[in-house]
Amino acid sequence: MKVAEKVYLKAARLQSRLTTASPVLRDDQPQFEMTVVGVEDLGAGMRRVTFEAPGLTGFECCGPDEYFGLVLPRPGGALVMPDPEPLNVRAAIADIAEDVRPDLRWYTIRAHDALAGRIDVDIVTHGDSGPGSAWTVRASVGDRAGFRASGALYRGLDLPGRQVLVADETAVPSVAAILEALGGPAAATARGVEVHVEVADPAVLGGYDLGAATVHVRRGVPGSAVVPALDTHLARGGAPVVYAWACGETDLAAGARRALVRHGVDRRRVYFCGYWKLGRARG
């Protein structure tokens, strides 16, 4: 990593701490190629892809919701990986000739088996409306894709007290991984962790154990179900919220954060992230 990039990274971390709970940023960004060794449909458009690579045996997740850049070959073409050195992987990909330039989408590691050198990645598919989904619905054993490490978002493992997690379908794999890291859904509930999930179709949750999670069925735009319900729930009072995490569609995540702050939660204890934006193609 170049000196200028290190300075930029340090400044970004400082700014984040002043305005929101900070994510877990890696000092390194391992990059390597992977092979698809399994594909499983979990229901309602959720698909699990299992990747294998020697680089995954020595890889260590820095948080339960570790996310990474999935580098995808052009349809019908060979996988071309970006220069692994620059901090900005998007800029590195932009430097590749357009006719072979890969696509890049970000996903959470659902499970990591270091001994086998494998990861499971759960992806919400939506036809061909984005390169990530288009690749995933056609993925089969033997396909190649790239891995570019990035970091994790959740920082509440060692925090005692009430926590609130808010998610939509795209962030359900992250929530499931967080609950497992906390000892399982029952142990997380006993610790004071509350989960609110908004989905269009509850069948998408069939492959997950979210314990006592409150499920909000969406009939309108993202956030239209969970944000008002969260606002009402927080208005009832209860123990102070020591940490909150809201991820999914951009307006849903931002709306959840506003509700939390409006009810007295320190904005520096709320992490929120837009995994995707309504009206824009997503992976």
Sheet of 241-249, strand order: 214-217, 193-199, 162-167, 241-249, 270-276
Tokens 């509930």 identify what position?
A: 189
- pLDDT above 50 (res 189): yes
φ, ψ of residue 136 in degrees (nearest 5): -65, -40
SS3 per-residue string spanning 213-231: CEEEECCCCCCCCHHHHHH
pLDDT for res 279 = 86
- Measured distance between the N- and C-terminal CA atoms of the chain, rounded to whole angstroms: 27
pLDDT in tens, 260-283: 999 999 999 999 999 999 987 654
Q: In angstroms, rounded to a whole number, what is the distance separating the alpha carbons of residues 40 and 17?
A: 39
Q: CA 231, 237, 238, 243 torsion: positive or negative?
A: positive
1-10, 124-133, 188-197: least confidently modelled range:
1-10
Would you state the CATH architecture of domain 162-276? Answer: 3-Layer(aba) Sandwich (3.40)
pTM score above 0.85: yes
Residues 278, 221 contacting (CB under 8 angstroms)? yes
| DSSP assignment letter at 99 | T
Over its C-alpha atoms, the chain yields an Rg (Å, rounded) of 19
- The arithmetic mean of pLDDT across residues 61-80, rounded, is 96
Q: Band the pLDDT of 15: cuts 50, 70, 90.
A: very low
- Minimal CA–CA distance to 172: which of 226, 231, 115, 230? 226
Quote the CATH superfamily of domain 24-152.
Translation factors (2.40.30.10)
Q: Is the dihedral of CA 171, 109, 148, 3 positive or negative?
A: positive
Averaged pLDDT, 197-211: 97
Note the helical H segments in the chain. 3-19, 89-94, 131-138, 172-181, 185-190, 226-235, 250-262
The DSSP code for 256 is H
Please state the domain extents for the chain.
24-152, 162-276
Average pLDDT (96-112) is: 97
Contact between 265 and 239 under an 8 Å Cβ cutoff? The reply is no
CA nearest 123: which of 204, 216, 201? 204
User: Inter-axis angle of helices 250-262 and 226-235, to 10 degrees?
Assistant: 10
Question: Which pLDDT does position 280 carry in this prediction?
Answer: 79
Q: What's at 135, amino acid-wise?
A: W
